[in-house]
Chain A
Amino acid sequence: MKELLFIIAGSVLVNNFVLSRFLGECPFLGVSRKLETAISMGVATTFVLTMTSVATYFIQFYILEPFGLSRFLQIVSFILVIAALVQLVEMVILKTSPALYKALGIYLPLITTNCAVLGLALLIAIKRYNFIQSVAFGLGAGIGFTLAMALMAGIREEMEFGDVPEALQGAAIVLITAGLLSMAFLGFSGLIPM
């Protein structure tokens, strides 16, 4: 139990996927304009991440490794699963909340190519987690992603009213903010012995 908490806390804070591992920067910068959509995007990505961790666990340890295919089929099969899962999420969101579907726009199908998702799948294979650990890792990664998105969106919403120097307006100040956030998260390193 303690180990699972470590994994979750580790992937949320210490090795935050966005701010420490620098995975999934695209939606982090693209959809973080409004807090509400940012959190929705985070939840959608969390769902995909958790489902991916389940699926990749079975694929890695029950298909790829027993047949010795993991060297060359790993990325192909992971992407296949991720693409299918994103399709599923898209359908569910379109059904349940068309407004959210519109707000997420192109970033929703782009979860497919979100490197946080593939990164998670590959990390599970490298770290050789068991099933429960994999799910915890995926969940933690998702929570971490949502946290980073929410933080960024909150800051950006405030920044709309801020007096940003002309040269730094737009993407520049967002990237600087992302860098500062990332530095802040580096302060968590060493919190948990990994």
Chain B
Amino acid sequence: MANVILVSVLSMGGLSLLLGAGLAYASKKFAVETDPRVDAINEVLPGANCGACGYPGCSGLAAAVVEGNAPVTACLVGGPAVAQKIAEIMGVSASGETKDRKVARVLCQGGVKEARLKSDYHGVKSCRAASMVNGGPKGCPFGCIGFGDCAKVCPVGAITMSENGLPVIDEEKCTGCGLCAKECPKQVIALTSAKNEVHVRCRATLKGKDTKEVCKVGCIACKQCEKACPFDAVHVLNNVAIIDYEKCRNCMKCVEKCPTKAITSAFAERKKAVINDNCIGCTICAKNCPVNAISGEVKKKHAVNAELCIGCSICAEKCPKGAITMVRGEGNIKTSICDACAAVK
């Protein structure tokens, strides 16, 4: 018996060794000379093969970058760090043109507590499957179904499902690959710039009354946000408020006005402008302030009226001396995280 084991081990081992050696020789002999940059780029890419760049896997992107068909910043997951490395390999500068970081945001707040169900669903626990049965169990045809298809598809584990049946996105972990947005059958997840703090968390284009019937936190198209916005950045289109992120300056005026709390901000309190001693009294800030919160005499240090300041940062951008900083006060708490812990409790 021992003899049989010994012989089989030896013969198979010998055979494998022989074949391995043969293959090793062949791989040298038939080595294909690829552009070494392709391999180098492949090395620095995250290797998640998520496909967010639009190429089939990381090696596909590496080849495209070398051929010049893709920009060095194409990898969304890797972000600026990877873009920098790829730029070094390609011998170009990353030129700081890295797109601003995108983060997935959940545009629905209608969880178990807020949204009314129209039916009792007992099928496969998947949003995609549930959405095929008469548009899903929720009364709102636009709402999050809550089986967490997005959490399942997230390659970095940034999405967890709260007790309230809504996805909670860890914005630190989120790489902005957009797989969750693609997976969601209700398109409730959107990629927005990490800079944007204020979002309309409702996509229901139902009439205001109908929205109110199915969800406590839906946008009822009352247009109060439109009137409150100092920057003309939010508009009610098709019975739902939509923020123009190019114009929005996170002033949170609309957040305060929204009667159903459908518009939220990532932070509980807005930031305030603070003028330091670099101020030369040029009055540029005072002229540009949309709410006239800055006052002061020419050539003297200006002051900000914190009551009036809406934290739009226009003054900070306009100040030629960089004398204005935007400071967030006591309320520097991420409300999204608060939601999460409240939900867990």
Contacts and interface: CB of A to CB of B under 8 A. Distances in A.
Nearest to B27: A91
Contact of B32 (A64, A68, A87, A95): A95
Contacts of A59: 15
Please classify how large the interface on chain B is, using the bins under 10, 10 to 19, 20 to 34, 35 or more.
Answer: 10 to 19
B7 A84 contact: no
A77 interface: yes
B4 interface: yes
A67 B16 CA distance: 17
Contact of B19 (A63, A84, A91, A98): A84
Nearest to B14: A63
A80 B16 contact: yes
B129 interface: no
Interface string B17-59: 0011011001100111000000000000000000000000000
A95 B30 CA distance: 6
Given A67-B7, A68-B4, A88-B23, A94 B15 contact: no
A167 interface: no
Contacts of A67: 4, 7-8, 11
A4 interface: no
Interface string A77-88: 100110010011
Contacts of A64: 11
A95 B27 CA distance: 10
A73 B26 contact: no
Contacts of B15: 59, 63, 77, 80-81
A84 B22 contact: yes
B12 A88 contact: no
Contact of A63 (B4, B11, B23, B30): B11
A192 interface: no
A77 B31 CA distance: 27
Interface centre among A59, A64, A76, A91 (most CB of B within 10 A): A91
Contacts of A80: 12, 15-16, 19
B26 to A, nearest CB: 5
A98 B63 CA distance: 14
A48 to B, nearest CB: 14
Nearest to A63: B11
B340 to A, nearest CB: 42
A168 interface: no
Contacts of A87: 23, 26
A159 interface: no
Nearest to B22: A84
Given A91-B27, A92-B30, A73 B8 contact: yes
A92 B30 CA distance: 6
Contacts of B27: 91
Given A68-B4, A73-B8, A87-B23, A94 B16 contact: no
Contacts of A72: 8
A94 B8 contact: no
A5 interface: no
A73 B7 CA distance: 11
B11 A88 contact: no
A94 B11 CA distance: 31
B32 A94 contact: yes
Given A69-B7, A81-B19, A88-B22, A94 B30 contact: yes
Contacts of A88: 22-23, 26
B12 A84 contact: no
A175 to B, nearest CB: 29
Contacts of A81: 15, 19
Contacts of A76: 12
A84 B26 CA distance: 11
Nearest to B25: A88
A21 to B, nearest CB: 27
B201 to A, nearest CB: 43
Contacts of B16: 80
30 contacts: A59-B15, A63-B15, A67-B4, A67-B8, A68-B4, A69-B7, A69-B11, A72-B8, A73-B12, A76-B12, A77-B12, A77-B15, A80-B12, A80-B15, A80-B16, A81-B15, A81-B19, A84-B20, A84-B22, A84-B23, A87-B23, A87-B26, A88-B23, A88-B26, A92-B26, A92-B30, A94-B32, A95-B30, A95-B31, A98-B32
Interface of B: 4, 7-8, 11-12, 15-16, 19-20, 22-23, 26-27, 30-32
| Nearest 3 Cβ contacts at the A-B interface | A84-B19, A91-B30, A95-B30
Given A63-B11, A80-B16, A95-B32, 11 more contacts: A63-B15, A67-B4, A68-B4, A72-B8, A73-B11, A77-B11, A81-B19, A84-B22, A84-B23, A91-B26, A94-B30
